[in-house]
Amino acid sequence: MTRQFGQPFLLTALDQDSPASPLYPVKREAATGSPGLYNELWLQNLIARHPEILPLADVEPLFADARSICTELPVAGGYADNLLVTPDGDISLVECKLWKNPQARREVIGQILDYAATLARWDYEQLDKAVRLALPGPSYVKNIPLYDRLKSESELSEAAFIDAVSRNLRQGRFLLLIAGDGIREGLETMADYLQRHVGLHFTLALVELAIFSHPAGGYFVQPRTLARTVEIKRDVITLAPAAYPPPLVVGGPPVETVGQRGMTLTEEEMYRQLDALEPGLSARLRTFLTSLEPLGISQEFSDKTIKIVGLINDEVWPLGAIYPSFYGKLSFETLISKARKKGDDRHAQTFYRRLVELIADPESRAAALKQGTKTGTRMLPLQDLLAASPKWTDALVDFLRTQAQEEQT
């Protein structure tokens, strides 16, 4: 099965008479150095100026707000093309490669993994020194410390930021992206490279940035994720092509138990924050969420929340959003707002009141039912709900059933 998109077209409007103008692939510089409209340096600078052009939120939601820190980062006897860091201290390396020949394809995979292995041996001071030596991102000048480049956007103190970056370095927790114009390397070869670096805890994704021109002027960049690692355990790496056949597993199939499946970097960070509130809290939550899967209830991760979602008449409904950074509380505002927009929030309100009754502290119960407050409205402590997880499950099932029946009448 081919993975190439068809030729894109540009519509000037959505009415039936709108003309459709074809967009044409832009010729890149060839391996021989023959003329072309762009090359790897151009691609590197594009990402430096517009890191949001990468599908970061799709690959790892935790990196959705990553900022371009520098290019040409000196590391492992070479230079990493792009360094992105989030205001929370999460680290991403990007290598840009136009896929001119099989040799280039093989080399870049090993190269970015070697860079990651070197970074995992660094401390914060070594990374900060390398950042100062590199070419600064568009918003910065040379020699500015790493934290100073992000402090206006970070909610962390300098000490907390340094701790977060140091932890990510020590654990080898990186998002590694290989960005190119059409990656054709077989998954088997890539998995072989990955298997040599099982000591690191990274997510690696292959991203295509296809570039098209319009006859009237301007260019269209079409990003898409071709493949990414979906699970890394002690001795197993799984590499999955995006929206294509089953993942390739190297080193034997993973052994999964209830609440113990592999995690992405985003999931790991959300659960780490919960365990910082109460040791073991994440394991209890994972066990509970796994128990809901046979009921058609699943979870979605963003960079700040763990969302519990379910289907009602083939429509996705939010059943609660956990905020690990806000004392591990659950918000039900989105659920009730959705029900209200449907014209009737009775069942959503009943569901919420049933959960409020599970809260141990009387004052907290009263506050949760008080309307009109700006902070804490419809937010419940996760620990109390997990302590009464069977009743929480019953309330979820009853809400899904009654809301579905309501919509069918």
Beta-sheet pairing, 174-180 with 203-213 = parallel
Tell me the C-alpha distance between 217 and 336, whole Å.
46
- The answer on pLDDT for 227 being more than 50 is yes
Higher pLDDT pick, 110 / 96: 96
Q: State the sign of the Cα–Cα–Cα–Cα dihedral 188, 111, 46, 24.
A: negative
Residue 90: its pLDDT value, please?
96
The answer for residues whose C-beta is within 8 angstroms of residue 145's C-beta and 6 or more apart is: 128, 131, 132
Residue 199: its pLDDT value, please?
56
Residue 36: its pLDDT value, please?
55
Tell me the C-alpha distance between 20 and 1, whole Å.
27
Tell me the C-alpha distance between 335 and 307, whole Å.
11
Tell me the C-alpha distance between 127 and 115, whole Å.
12
Residue 102: its pLDDT value, please?
57
Between 41-50, 149-158, 243-252, the lowest mean confidence (pLDDT) is in 243-252
Residue 215: its pLDDT value, please?
78
- The answer on pLDDT for 229 being more than 70 is yes
Q: Classify 70 in phi/psi space as left (phi over 0), alpha (psi -120 to 50) or beta.
A: beta
Question: Could you tell me the CA-to-CA distances from 401 to 161, 343, 350 in Å, in that order?
Answer: 45, 17, 13
pLDDT tens across 23-81, in order? 888 876 554 444 556 788 888 999 999 999 999 999 999 999 999 999 999 998 899 99
List the strands of the sheet with 379-381, edge to edge: 297-301, 306-312, 315-323, 329-331, 379-381
- The answer on pLDDT for 324 being more than 70 is yes
Across 80-89, 140-149, 336-345, the highest mean pLDDT is recorded for 80-89
Residue 131: its pLDDT value, please?
96
What angle, 0 to 180 degrees and rounded to 10, lies between the N-to-C axes of helices 158-171 and 124-133? 100
Please give the angle made by the CA atoms of 63, 69 and 74, to the nearest 5 degrees.
Answer: 115
398 CB-side CA count, 13 A: 16
Give the pLDDT band (50/70/90) at residue 136: very high
- The answer on pLDDT for 145 being more than 70 is yes
Residue 105: its pLDDT value, please?
63
Residue 99: its pLDDT value, please?
66
pLDDT tens across 346-374, in order? 999 999 999 999 998 888 888 887 765 44
Tell me the C-alpha distance between 61 and 55, whole Å.
9
Tell me the C-alpha distance between 289 and 300, whole Å.
11
Average pLDDT in the chain: 82
Residue 12: its pLDDT value, please?
81
Give the pLDDT band (50/70/90) at residue 183: low
pLDDT tens across 159-175, in order? 999 999 999 999 889 99
